[in-house]
Amino acid sequence: MTHPIPARTQVAIIGAGPAGLLLGHLLHRKGVDTVVLENRDRPYVEKRQRAGILEQGTMDVLRATGAAAGMDARGLQHDGIELRFAGEAHRIDFPALTGRSVMVYAQTEVVKDLIALRLEAGAPLAFEAEALDISGIEGEAPQIRYRHEGAEHTLTAEYVVACDGFHGIGRRIMPEAGKRTFERVYPFSWLGILADVAPSCDELIYAHSPEGFALHSMRSPEVSRLYLQVPPDTDLAQWSDDRIWEGLARRFAIDGDWKLATGPITEKGITPMRSFVTEPMRHGRLFLAGDAAHIVPPTGAKGLNLAAADVTLLAAALVRRYASGDESGLDAYSEQALRRIWRAEHFSYTMTSMLHTSPDDDAFGHRLQLSQLDYIASSKAAATSLAENYTGLPMPGLDELA
């Protein structure tokens, strides 16, 4: 069931993706009033396919705050990944190197879990509520004008958090004065598929090949998620199911008898590859979190986890503000969040540039890639660095929210 949307709240949250829903969950548990506005309908939000890897810190937040029942029941814990290159496979053992692991659990499932918890708690959540304008962010009572159920409404809050993605209103409202953006567009995309076939691996495979990058992931023991590098102007209609499976098989090939299992493809899509960061992530009483502030290429599995880190940090700061009046965490939010964001941007860039084939047929660059992959496979120090970044840094603010 849905609940009435009040005209006033302490924290207004725009966007019911994982960032907005998790922030609302964390604050509601600590007695901070929130309203979540989402411009899409509930079925769309619950079916929106995105990331599927949860870092150790993201798992810790969900478990510590009572949001992990679905993850622990249906998620697939992974203790490593496999790097494939030059016809060989090399496993990176996460627990042995860092004592940490990751979880395969689709973003759609995280979102559904958090929606259910919010509605069960009676916390306001409005779907098909489009934010039209945000005003008064430099004062003490910012307002969101939004359209819902055919009428316009105004929501007054003490703080507004925009978790509404790259194209949302939150970042557009931020004043241009003092705002800086950084962007890198990569010269390739991913062709991704969902297939009704049991995964051909126990852990994710990241493959470097002369034909281009490929990734073997999964959504469940019965459903595989796979990607292969394609040019950015790729016409999806030119990729038949047979062509996709044949291309994947060649890129995953290693010396030995390993074979890629195939099955019915139920979904296809093209994902562009880019990096984006906006600074700062706060102006007055408006804060940015998740994709509203940053985008990473999916090679490093950081998008969802960065969003979780943003809102965990911000939630701890807001709880402190309402408990004691201490605003130091809010003042430090942007700087602290950006420190983690740039670390994740660098890791994602490193993984992307190390594994993808250059469209310029750069033989020198190709040999550098093989050298770096060989270094990771043969050096404990290099493997540890990859494992530490992949499984994620400690989650700031978690101790205050548990």
Question: Which DSSP category does 138 fall into?
Answer: T
Give the separation between CA 26 and CA 34, rounded to whole angstroms: 10
**Cα 139 from chain centroid?**
32
Give the separation between CA 89 and CA 64, rounded to whole angstroms: 36
94 contacts 301 by C-beta, under 8 angstroms: no
Give the separation between CA 121 and CA 22, rounded to whole angstroms: 13
Please choose, from the candidates 81, 75, 131, 147, the residue with its C-alpha nearest in 3D space to the C-alpha of residue 104.
75
317 contacts 397 by C-beta, under 8 angstroms: yes
Helix or strand or coil: residue 73?
helix
At residue 268, what are phi and psi to the nearest 5 degrees?
-135, 150
Helix or strand or coil: residue 135?
strand
What amino acid positions are annotated as catalytic residues?
78, 206, 298, 302, 390
Please choose, from the candidates 189, 191, 227, 338, the residue with its C-alpha nearest in 3D space to the C-alpha of residue 276.
338
